[in-house]
Amino acid sequence: MRLRPSLAALVAALVLATGAVPSRAGELVMVETRGCAWCAKWHREIGPIYPKTEEGKRLPLRVVRMENMPADLRILKQLRYAPTFVAVACGREVGRVVGYGGDDLFWGELSQIYRKLPATC
């Protein structure tokens, strides 16, 4: 009896063969710096609830350091202030929230960006 390979194994083989990395439909990239008090405040006030929200489910949080930007995020330009939250979908920036001035401002700005998200890539 011959076993059929799993879907995960097929995807892994495809990635290895082509060098392609499957892209996420979307993510919220939080760009922070070491010792950022506003970043710490966001993590205390919003961080625990963000993944439970509709926005958090559609745009999972990815935290990166401004001083150590990953290669796949070099598409993000003019990052000068921490925290900066960048909504990325389909390989492009959809919008950003610069700074953290409290939960009302954050959710208000994020909801405007959320409405601009493409339905599919």
Q: What is the pLDDT of residues 27-61, one digit of tens each?
A: 999 999 999 999 999 999 999 999 999 999 999 99
Rg (CA), the chain: 17
Q: What backbone torsions phi and psi does residue 106 show, to the nearest 5 degrees? A: -60, -55
Residue 25 has pLDDT above 80, yes or no: no
Q: Identify the CA nearest to 74 among candidates 100, 93, 95.
A: 93
User: Right CATH number for 23-115 from 1.10.1040.10, 3.40.30.10, 3.40.50.2300, 1.10.10.10?
Assistant: 3.40.30.10
Q: What is the DSSP letter of 34?
A: T
Long-range contact set of residues 31-34: C-beta below 8 Å, sequence gap at least 24 = 31/64, 31/65, 31/66, 31/69, 31/76, 31/79, 31/82, 31/83, 31/84, 31/85, 31/86, 32/63, 32/64, 32/65, 32/66, 32/82, 32/83, 33/65, 33/66, 33/67, 33/82, 34/65, 34/67
Of 78 and 22, the one with more pLDDT: 78
Global pTM reads: 0.78
Residue 72: CB atoms within 10 A of its CB come to 12
Provide the residue ranges of all domains of the chain, joining segments of one domain with +: 23-115
